[in-house]
Amino acid sequence: MTNLRGFWLRSLPELPPAHCATPADTARAELRQLAARCPAWGGIGISVDPAMDRDSYALEGKILRGGEAGVLYGAYALAEAALQGKAPADFPGGVQAPAFPDRMLNGWDNMDGTVERGYAGRSLWFEGGRFAYEPDRIRQLGRLMASVGLNVLCVNNVNVHEPAEGLIDELLPELAAFGALLRPFGVRLMTSVDFAQPIRDGMATADPLDEGVQAWWARRADAVWAAIPDFFGFLVKADSEHRPGPFTYGRSHAEGANMLARAVAPHGGKVVWRAFVYNCMQDWRDHSIDRPCAAYDTYMPLDGAFDDNVILQVKNGPYDFQVREPVSPTLLGMERTALAVEFQLAQEYTGHQIDLYALASVFRDFFDDVPAQRLRAIAAVTNIGRDESLFGHPFAAANLYCYGKFAWNPGESAEESLRSWARLSYPEAGEDLAEKLMIPSRGVYERYTATLGLGWMVTPGDHYGPNPSGYEYDRWGTYHRASRDAVGIDRTREGTGYAAQYPPELEARYSDPETCPENLLLFFHRLPYSWRMADGRSMIQRIYDDHFDGAAMAEQMAAVLRELPLPSPDREEALRRMEAQCRNAREWRDVINTFFHRLSGVEDAHGRMIYD
């Protein structure tokens, strides 16, 4: 029997047999397993319809008709419905199709076995400079992805470290063998490439306008698609945080991306170009630079200049996966560019998969502001690793699950997706897991780490635990500039002007502190501690209250968790991590409250303990 830790379809214990070669084969195996467990759902046949979109499906009586991969997504949809106790008659009619054709996971796995910002152990597929995995674990990964409709996996870190350059060269046979394990689950491969790779191969330049460079990439593309005909494409982090890129040669990012796009176009390949360019050597003294402005400033002038097979991948917010950010104005501004949003399932700033932090509401908030039609694709940094439960914290699985749900249907409900995950994963736990732990988790973590939109008060580098001035005098463009009188950055037109990057309605909402959402108040405004919040409290009192409340709510979550009937070892693992979360929450509470008390001199209205 397979290790099912981390997989929500616990009630279907068997991996599909290894001889399944296509998603349709896999779908049949899963339906057989489902029928054995839920006889009411037996007898359903599979019909692959080449006329349908690859990923679509429809249940028509006892026939599940669909595209090449759609039949598998349909089979998992049936299984989910069945395992949540629904009857076949409740299953939605009509063609079901995903909102985005490309629903991607980006592994930040290095070939030495480490995972950048990985909190679930070492890489699931790399170790010691090469591929190293149990085939069944990779097939389990494919099953996880397919069960929520994800169809592209980038295998290596966007920061390309040796010997990952070889993935599109001498390591192609290994890459192809790895991909063959995922193909029966409808998953296609992508690799991150280094823009300067031609130089490492002995060429004098990586200038995208150099014909030799263009020919070099064309040859590499030919080799890749010869080895893996359904390969998806290349992911590129260029001119970002010391990575090489077109700027080295005085070329634009459109020139750089299009050069690669033309190399892969004959094979139907894509270039996914990350829009994560900013000055990571900023002088903190310089108030004229505001990092959140960077992507818009860089890419808006290039709107319409990218080839059709370039996807510009933009982080969901303007900074970097903070606990709370406004949506990226770039994703609202560009009109003639294929766009993807990038989320981060790995809990870099959001608790290291120790503290609970369900991202479902991050997805919901995002799509409340950004119409899905603006996007061509969706991507997320993985949160998996070699850890036995795949996710470090067993409940972190919910973030991959919910990501898949929103990638298929951006109209998804945050709460309902978490309820589904909990019902499937821990049927014994009842409602409390979703209602009292997962759904409130983001709000709890936000209260004690980032209230009012105050991010970056975190331990530099590591990004877990409080360090209120850790980034304050650093080069990363991440400042709160708290003084004895005020805190926050004025990002209106009177300040850095960042808010002006938004469409008028959003700009107006953000620019007035009376209409700005309170959870972004100090992201957009610099305000005195005496600022009156809508409920009449002073802003400093609100900061104190949120930190006291957040830590207390973490304790309450711990009490709930102790009472939940969960299977071993997930229960013990979750309890152990919850204890660390409570410790972390107390530390955040005290450090941040002391920091602001030392600055403001204001006492807590309720006389609670704030340390000197």
Among residue numbers 578 through 597, which ones bind a second copy (CB under 8 A)? 587, 590-591, 594-595, 597
**CA-to-CA dists, residue 429 to 264, 423, 557, angstroms:** 49, 8, 14
The residue from 42, 95, 284, 500 that contacts a second copy (CB under 8 A) is 284
The residue from 468, 488, 513, 550 that contacts a second copy (CB under 8 A) is 468
Cβ distance to a second copy smaller for residue 211 or 611:
611
Cβ distance to a second copy smaller for residue 598 or 608:
598
Dmax over Cα atoms in the chain, in whole Å? 71
Cβ distance to a second copy smaller for residue 505 or 612:
612
Cβ distance to a second copy smaller for residue 185 or 548:
548
Q: How far apart are CA 323 and CA 530, in angstroms?
A: 25
- Per DSSP, helices labelled H in 228-277 are 253-264
Packing angle of the helix pair 397-408, 135-147 (nearest 10 deg): 50
Binding span for a second copy by CB under 8 A among 20-28, 62-70, 289-297, 598-606: 598-606
- Cα torsion 192, 290, 585, 608 to 10°: value is 180
The nearest distance, CB 603 to a second copy, in angstroms, is 13
The nearest distance, CB 587 to a second copy, in angstroms, is 8
The nearest distance, CB 196 to a second copy, in angstroms, is 28
Binding span for a second copy by CB under 8 A among 281-289, 324-332, 425-433, 539-547: 281-289
601 is an interface residue for a second copy by CB under 8 A: yes
Nearest CA to 375 out of 443, 313, 437 is that of 313
The nearest distance, CB 117 to a second copy, in angstroms, is 20
Residue 106 structure tokens? 């980006």
Q: Is 518 a catalytic residue?
A: no
Cβ distance to a second copy smaller for residue 132 or 599:
599
Among residue numbers 130 through 149, which ones bind a second copy (CB under 8 A)? none
The nearest distance, CB 289 to a second copy, in angstroms, is 14
Bridge pairing between strands 339-344 and 188-193: unpaired
How far does CA 276 lie from the centroid of its chain? 14
Cβ distance to a second copy smaller for residue 197 or 451:
451
Cβ distance to a second copy smaller for residue 227 or 599:
599
Burial class (CB in 10 A: 0-12, 13-18, 19+), 434: buried
Cβ distance to a second copy smaller for residue 250 or 611:
611
Residue that the structure tokens 């402005």 belong to:
293
Q: How far apart are CA 224 and CA 284, in angstroms?
A: 44
User: How many residues of this chain bind a second copy (CB under 8 A)?
Assistant: 26
467 is an interface residue for a second copy by CB under 8 A: yes
Binding span for a second copy by CB under 8 A among 173-181, 282-290, 347-355, 554-562: 282-290
429 is an interface residue for a second copy by CB under 8 A: no
Q: What is the CA radius of gyration of the chain?
A: 24
The nearest distance, CB 140 to a second copy, in angstroms, is 37
Q: How far apart are CA 209 and CA 60, in angstroms?
A: 53
598 is an interface residue for a second copy by CB under 8 A: yes
Cβ distance to a second copy smaller for residue 560 or 599:
599
The residue from 96, 240, 451, 600 that contacts a second copy (CB under 8 A) is 600
Start-to-end CA distance of the chain, whole Å, equals 56
The answer to whether the CB of 453 falls within 8 A of the CB of 569 is no
Q: Is the dihedral of CA 239, 491, 378, 9 positive or negative?
A: positive
Residues 6+ apart with CB under 8 A from 132: 113, 125, 126
Binding span for a second copy by CB under 8 A among 77-85, 173-181, 234-242, 464-472: 464-472
Cβ distance to a second copy smaller for residue 485 or 512:
485
Among residue numbers 296 through 355, which ones bind a second copy (CB under 8 A)? none
E strands in 199-269 = 233-236
The nearest distance, CB 540 to a second copy, in angstroms, is 12
427 is an interface residue for a second copy by CB under 8 A: no
Annotate 430-480 with DSSP letters as a single string.
-SHIIIIIIHHHHHHHHHHH-GGG----B-TTT--SB-TTTTTTSSSS---
Cβ distance to a second copy smaller for residue 431 or 473:
473
Q: Is 308 a catalytic residue?
A: no
Which residue out of 325, 348, 546, 573 is catalytically annotated?
A: 348
269 is an interface residue for a second copy by CB under 8 A: no
The nearest distance, CB 122 to a second copy, in angstroms, is 22
285 is an interface residue for a second copy by CB under 8 A: yes
466 is an interface residue for a second copy by CB under 8 A: yes
Among residue numbers 476 through 495, which ones bind a second copy (CB under 8 A)? 481-485
The nearest distance, CB 598 to a second copy, in angstroms, is 4
Nearest CA to 488 out of 455, 448, 446 is that of 455
Which residue out of 290, 320, 387, 446 is catalytically annotated?
A: 320
Which residue out of 134, 241, 462, 603 is catalytically annotated?
A: 241
The answer to whether the CB of 418 falls within 8 A of the CB of 439 is yes
Q: Is 514 a catalytic residue?
A: no
Residue 159 structure tokens? 């920061």
Q: How far apart are CA 19 and CA 3, in angstroms?
A: 19
The answer to whether the CB of 235 falls within 8 A of the CB of 193 is yes
Binding span for a second copy by CB under 8 A among 26-34, 126-134, 262-270, 475-483: 475-483
599 is an interface residue for a second copy by CB under 8 A: yes
The nearest distance, CB 116 to a second copy, in angstroms, is 20
Binding span for a second copy by CB under 8 A among 298-306, 312-320, 350-358, 468-476: 468-476
The nearest distance, CB 493 to a second copy, in angstroms, is 19
The answer to whether the CB of 312 falls within 8 A of the CB of 299 is yes
- Per DSSP, helices labelled H in 317-413 are 329-333, 360-369, 397-408
**CA-to-CA dists, residue 55 to 26, 42, 48, 95, 482, angstroms:** 14, 23, 11, 10, 50
**CA-to-CA dists, residue 591 to 195, 285, 487, 601, 610, angstroms:** 42, 25, 16, 15, 9
Nearest CA to 3 out of 403, 434, 570 is that of 570
Active site residues: 241, 320, 348
Give the footprint of a second copy on this chain (CB under 8 A): 284-285, 287, 466-470, 473, 481-485, 587, 590-591, 594-595, 597-601, 611-612
